[in-house]
Structure 1
Amino acid sequence: MSEDFLQRLGTLIASAKHIVQLPRFSNLLSPSLPLPRPTVVSSQVPSLFREPYILSGYRPVYQKWHCYLFSLFQRHNESLNVWTHLLAAFVLLRCWWANTGAVAYTLTLASLPLCLFFVSSLMYLFLSAAAHLFQSHSEHAHYFLFFMDYVGVAVYQYGCSLGHYFYASEPAWRSSCFGSLFLPGAAFLGWLSCAGCCFAKSRYRRPYPVGRKICQLIPTTLAYLLDISPVIHRLSTATWTQDPALPFYALQIVSFLLSAIFFSCPIPERFFPGRCDFLGQGHQIFHLFLSLCTLFQLEAFFHDYVRRRDTIVETFGESQLWCATISFPTLFLCCILTALLTMRHKHKQLQGENKRDN
């Protein structure tokens, strides 16, 4: 890995820390605006909002929307889940700015997949941050925001696929069955992962059964195995000493696998109930490793873009690049439609439950 990248990453992270070094936020607000109420223990919020082994730090439900916005500066058990992705988005923006300036980046047909990957990365970071920040408002908000979060994840998966295909793949892999079916397969599995997560979220209630994780992880795992196949092929066939992008691709894989472990298992809070309510939750660690994965991807893509940008259009053809570009918003619209249809069904279900309770 280049020392220049490590130095830039350290500088960017250090500068990002200044974002949270703010004056006491309550002093900046008008006295007429209600502030977020103090956090409560798990028994004081509905079961939908409770997380396993997290016993305190919950924000009361049914506050005004701006109370949840202002809770960005409040200490609660979702604080770091929000800030990890907001700060990651800031660092990603700075890395993009630094790299585009260094390589004289211009928006051309050859650079469109790189641009779409960047857009998809920001999308999943901001949608995730919004979900964790506002989901405590109500049951409807909780479901809708996490459905949108799944849309962001699916679009990010496809953004990664475009980068892997146009920048990381080798001719031998592209001529294989994986290469010929890669882009339509990646788009379908991206949509399937969104649909599976939305279905699992809508179908199952806490305490969540194993079936929920299966609905989430199987399509997501299949999508990842396909998406990463051109990178695995290149890592196993190329000479690492002559390819500066390969260490970043390897770090990307390691970071993603670590993030998957912490996403799948509630560790370390399982072993320390109540001790990780504010700091040290597995989901916070998952966010950190996934953010690192995205940063390593961006650096690897820039290395490959610089090396291959003069031959990308010739290698793949304009029609394939335009089809890939058009398929990106098409997948986004399909995922949005899936999320909205699932939310419509869930809305009717919640209305029925409210009528029965009344």
Structure 2
Amino acid sequence: MSSLSLSLPSLHTPMVAVLHKVLPSLPLTGRDVDVPLVYREPFVLSGYRPVGLPWRCYVLSLFQLHKDTVKVWCPLLAAVTVATLFMFFMVLQGGGLLGVRLQTPEGMGMSLDPSSLPLLLYVLSVIFFLSCSSASLLLHPCSSSVRSSLIILDSVGRGVHQAGRALALSLYASDAAWTESVVGQLYLPAAAVLAFLSCTIGCCVELYPHRPNLIHLRLLQGGPVLLAFLLDISPVARRLYACPWNSHTAVLLHGLQMVLFLLSTLFFSCPVPECLSPGAFDILGHSRQLFQVLQTLSTVCQLEALLQDFSWRRAGLVRRVGEENLLWSCGGFTVVTLSCTLTALALRRCSVSR
């Protein structure tokens, strides 16, 4: 007599194959000797993701513990934080973004308010920079070509952020004496040139790494960035010198932002603490992680300081600077953004055609 089977049917083999394809199991991380030299970091011996895997593996590695986990999550969380803070700030201000009010005596309303345009451009530049940084750190092991493209994108994001930072600081964090000085008059053109140089040199270092004049990579990458920072903070430095530090919370935040940024450059330049104990700080605590954490905190502090400065000085900004000058300054930011983007595309195309 035939027996009746009550066992549940197994999953169909093609379905299992599809699930494995959509949700692949992530391979274990390896040692530095398992990846090409260009992917290695000095004194970091383990925690490297394999090179050449499909895109989805690296996207899923966002939830895996490896040497880049902290570096990826810092700018990613910071981008979300910046967007959230800005949205809450605009809601608390009753809208006001480019003159759009959430609630007026007559209801919804709109009128041109150029005083908020530089703040919007600054926030967009910060989100773009942090997003590019996170994407580059997350996806760079995919291939050497993808790595180059992502680092170029990161260089563009850095240049755009520097231009947005200079624009916001010159308008919201400066005083009349600094604005009328020689430095104040030349500030935005010089900041635009340095932002463009930071982007261009970052692209060249990645695309042409074997040229003799590009052997000191960190100096070439960090030099223009540090010069741009020293120029950008000149209105803040004067303010810190001239005003009591307890006069306004924004002054303290600007001071904290400067300290965090300078500390981040120290860890960017020196492989500390991993050089003291190679292999001990592979997953948590090596210099590039500390650099990323400090740079992220610095950016968030600067945003909060500028939001406070905007609230304090917005009413008289157009009267002090002039509406035409405000719009011209914002136009300069747009020119820098387009210049960085087009230059990066041209350099990338030239390197591919070689």
TM-score scaled by length of structure 2: 0.86
Q: State the 1:224 CA deviation.
A: 1.2
Q: One-letter code of the match for 2:20?
A: P
Residue equivalent to 1:130: 135
1:166 aligns with 2:171: yes
CA distance in 1: counterparts of 2:268 and 2:314, whole angstroms: 36
Residue equivalent to 1:36: 26
* Unaligned 5+ runs, structure 1: 1-28, 350-358
CA distance in 1: counterparts of 2:301 and 2:86, whole angstroms: 12
1:290 aligns with 2:295: yes
Give the secondary structure class of the aligned counterpart of 1:111: helix
Match of 1:54 among 30, 38, 44: 44
Residue equivalent to 1:63: 53
Match of 1:152 among 139, 147, 157: 157
Match of 1:120 among 121, 125, 129: 125
State whether residues 191 and 228 of structure 2, in contact with CA within 8 Å, keep that contact through their aligned partners in structure 1.
yes
Residue equivalent to 1:7: none
State whether residues 127 and 149 of structure 1, in contact with CA within 8 Å, keep that contact through their aligned partners in structure 2.
yes
Give the secondary structure class of the aligned counterpart of 1:215: helix
Q: State the 1:260 CA deviation.
A: 0.9
Q: State the 1:36 CA deviation.
A: 3.0
Match of 2:182 among 153, 177, 181: 177
State whether residues 209 and 215 of structure 2, in contact with CA within 8 Å, keep that contact through their aligned partners in structure 1.
no
Q: State the 1:330 CA deviation.
A: 1.9
Q: One-letter code of the match for 1:128?
A: S
Give the secondary structure class of the aligned counterpart of 2:65: coil
Q: One-letter code of the match for 2:132?
A: L
Q: One-letter code of the match for 1:71?
A: S
1:96 aligns with 2:86: yes
Identity, % of aligned pairs?
38
CA distance in 2: counterparts of 1:51 and 1:183, whole angstroms: 36
Deviation per residue, 1:101-132 (Å, 9 max, x gap): 33334113101111111111111111000001
Q: State the 1:291 CA deviation.
A: 1.2
State whether residues 251 and 296 of structure 1, in contact with CA within 8 Å, keep that contact through their aligned partners in structure 2.
yes
CA distance in 1: counterparts of 2:202 and 2:151, whole angstroms: 9
Give the secondary structure class of the aligned counterpart of 2:137: helix
1:75 aligns with 2:80: no
CA distance in 1: counterparts of 2:145 and 2:79, whole angstroms: 27
CA distance in 1: counterparts of 2:177 and 2:314, whole angstroms: 19
More strand per residue: 1 or 2? 2
Q: State the 1:210 CA deviation.
A: 5.8
CA distance in 1: counterparts of 2:89 and 2:273, whole angstroms: 36
State whether residues 155 and 331 of structure 1, in contact with CA within 8 Å, keep that contact through their aligned partners in structure 2.
yes
Q: One-letter code of the match for 1:177?
A: V
Q: State the 1:92 CA deviation.
A: 1.9
State whether residues 71 and 293 of structure 2, in contact with CA within 8 Å, keep that contact through their aligned partners in structure 1.
no
Q: State the 1:205 CA deviation.
A: 5.5
TM-score scaled by length of structure 1: 0.85
Q: State the 1:226 CA deviation.
A: 1.1
TM-align CA RMSD:
2.0
Q: State the 1:204 CA deviation.
A: 2.7
Residue equivalent to 2:12: none
State whether residues 214 and 220 of structure 2, in contact with CA within 8 Å, keep that contact through their aligned partners in structure 1.
no
Q: One-letter code of the match for 1:162?
A: L
Q: One-letter code of the match for 1:143?
A: S
Match of 1:227 among 223, 226, 232: 232
State whether residues 35 and 70 of structure 1, in contact with CA within 8 Å, keep that contact through their aligned partners in structure 2.
no
Q: State the 1:55 CA deviation.
A: 1.1
* Greater Rg by CA: 2
* Unaligned 5+ runs, structure 2: 1-17, 99-113
